[in-house]
Structure formats: C-alpha cells, structure tokens
Amino acid sequence: MAEPELVADCVAAMKDATTLPVTVKNRIGIDDLDSYEHLVHFTQTIKDKGCETFIIHARKAWLTGLSPKENRTIPPLKYDVVYQLKKDFPELEIIINGGIQTLEEIDSHLQAVDGVMIGREAIRIHIFWRKLTSAITAFQTMRQSAKKWSKKSCPISIPKWQKEFL
C-alpha cells in the first residue's frame, strides 16, 4: 500500500499475462498511511490499470511495532471505511474481510458490499462451516418453490447473499 503505482504496474503485468481475473487484497491502511484519502488513491491507481475486484481487510496493519499475530487483533476493525469505499466506487466489486464470525454478520455486511471473505474463523470453528453449508443447501433446495412464490403469498425475507442460490 506504500507504493500504489508499483502495485498497479504489477496488476497491469498480470492482466497482460492472463485472461483470468486479477484481484487485489489489501488492508484499509498501513502504518501512518491510513487516511481515507490514501485508500482512495491506492484503489483508484490500481483500478486505472484494470483491477475490478478488491478484497479489503477492514483494519490497518502496523508493519513496524506489531507482530503478524498482533495485527490480527490490535488495530480496530473499521467496517465503515470499507462501506464508504464501496459507495465511492460502486462499479468495483468490493469484498470485505476481517473479524467476521457469524452468518448474521455476513448478511449485515452484504447489505453494504458485494462479498465477504471468511478467514481464520473458518479454520477455527468448523461449526461455522456446517451452518453456512446448511443455509446454502436449504436455499438450493427451495430454489424451484421460491421462484413460484410471490411476496403476497409467502412473505419471506431472503438475505442478499442467499439470493444467488435461488
């Protein structure tokens, strides 16, 4: 994040070398480069080289002074910064990451961004995956029936992330 132009050049080189999508995963900031303006500049610079998907970890990283383990818990999560980035770049696919532990949190985040990346929680708690798999399976099973229902005859609320399975 300290060198947006270098990252953008790397993205351009990867895009030239493949037809696969090229994505960027970054934090909302590093060290003292943690202003919203810097995040916007970083995003715009890379977007200009053709990147359309950003996976944003919603906490900054201290590259000096904190260990990688401490960087996972000490800097506060700032989901609102990622939400604002999505508002400012509606044409980009913005996927949020960091501290997400429940299906309810996933649903909440998907009201503001395009996707959710689950990190260590997926490894730490296998029950989380069972719940997620059960939810997806249930909605896949309901696919045909749900298409026939109207809101008047079946007033159900389907979270945004689950609609893709219908």
pLDDT tens string 109-154: 999 999 999 887 777 777 777 777 777 777 666 654 555 544 444 4
Burial of 3 (0-12, 13-18, 19+ CB in 10 A): exposed
**Higher per-residue pLDDT: 72 or 143:** 72
Compute the distance between CA of residue 37 and CA of residue 9 in angstroms, rounded to an integer: 20
* DSSP-assigned beta bridge partners for residue 117: 97
- How many Å from the N-terminal Cα to the C-terminal Cα in the chain? 38
Give the tens place of pLDDT for each residue, 23-48. 999 999 999 999 999 999 999 999 99
Strands 53-57 and 23-27: parallel
> Are 56 and 28 in contact, with CB atoms under 8 Å apart?
yes
Class of domain 4-124: alpha beta
Centre a 10 Å sphere on the Cβ of residue 119 and count the other Cβ atoms it contains: 13
Question: What's this model's pTM, rounded to 2 decimal places?
Answer: 0.78
Q: Give yes or no for residue 53 having a pLDDT over 70.
A: yes
Q: Closest Cα to residue 110, out of 154, 164, 52, 39?
A: 164
Boundaries of every domain in the chain: 4-124
